[in-house]
Amino acid sequence: MATSYFLIAVFLALASSQAIASDPSPLQDFCVADKDSPVKVNGFVCKDPMHVTADDFFKAAKLDEPRNTKGKVGSNVTLINVMQLAGLNTLGISLARIDFAPLGENPPHTHPRATEILTVLEGTLYVGFVTSNPNNTLFTKVLHKGDVFVFPEGLIHFQFNPVHDKPAVALAALSSQNPGVITIANAVFGSKPPISDDVLTKAFQVEKGTIDWLQAQFWENNHY
């Protein structure tokens, strides 16, 4: 009997850990984010439903309009998450339009809280992701208009427009109201304060001067 109780306890602990690891699930029809509330929770507390209007579920995002891709990496990510659309709170989903200049890229990055599914609206994209240690297997595909590709949660991935004379546009859905993004180069070489040269020279097996040069670059944020 004691063994049975122990197994049940272990199962419940595992189930609880999985629930805590994902976005909070809705326990009512909706939970519009109350961003002005002083209460701090994982996500946002609910706005009084008596004060909720259709505008809480709406944003005139103009996602049909091209974005500026003249930055260093040649891409522009327009993210619609709970910070822009309060009605997404507890719904576990967000959306992004990604514009690419010719030869532009969305550099290697990861979403710590979300799986991403992407479809190409215009142009061509070379996309891929890398699995975790120890294999670090690279999966890549060339996508054309109408194609779909999925990037598993937490894995490093990228999108690149290989065409030198035509832009590309993609639409991505992410399985979190606030998926987060960590651009690898920005995090490693553009952190504030900077990571110690001793750490990075050892990690990348290069000279200190190389690390100093990389840290001196302007690491652009292409998310808007």
Copy the structure tokens of residue 51.
Answer: 């004060």
- For residues 224 and 203, give the distance between their C-alpha atoms in angstroms, rounded to a whole number: 31
**111 a known binding residue?**
yes
Copy the structure tokens of residue 134.
Answer: 């120890």
**51 a known binding residue?**
no
- For residues 70 and 79, give the distance between their C-alpha atoms in angstroms, rounded to a whole number: 18
**144 a known binding residue?**
no
Only one residue has tokens 């097996």, namely 205
Closest CA to 156 of 176, 120, 131: 131
Q: What is the CA radius of gyration of the chain?
A: 21
Q: What is the DSSP letter of 20?
A: H
**106 a known binding residue?**
yes
Q: Helix, strand, or coil here: 9?
A: helix
The b-or-e profile of 86-119 (16+ CB within 10 A means b, else e) is bbbbbbbbbbbbbbbbeebbbbbbbbebbbbebe
Binding site listing: 106, 109, 111, 116, 157
Question: Binding-site residues for oxalate, please?
Answer: 106, 111, 116
Binding site for Mn(2+): residue ranges?
109, 111, 116, 157
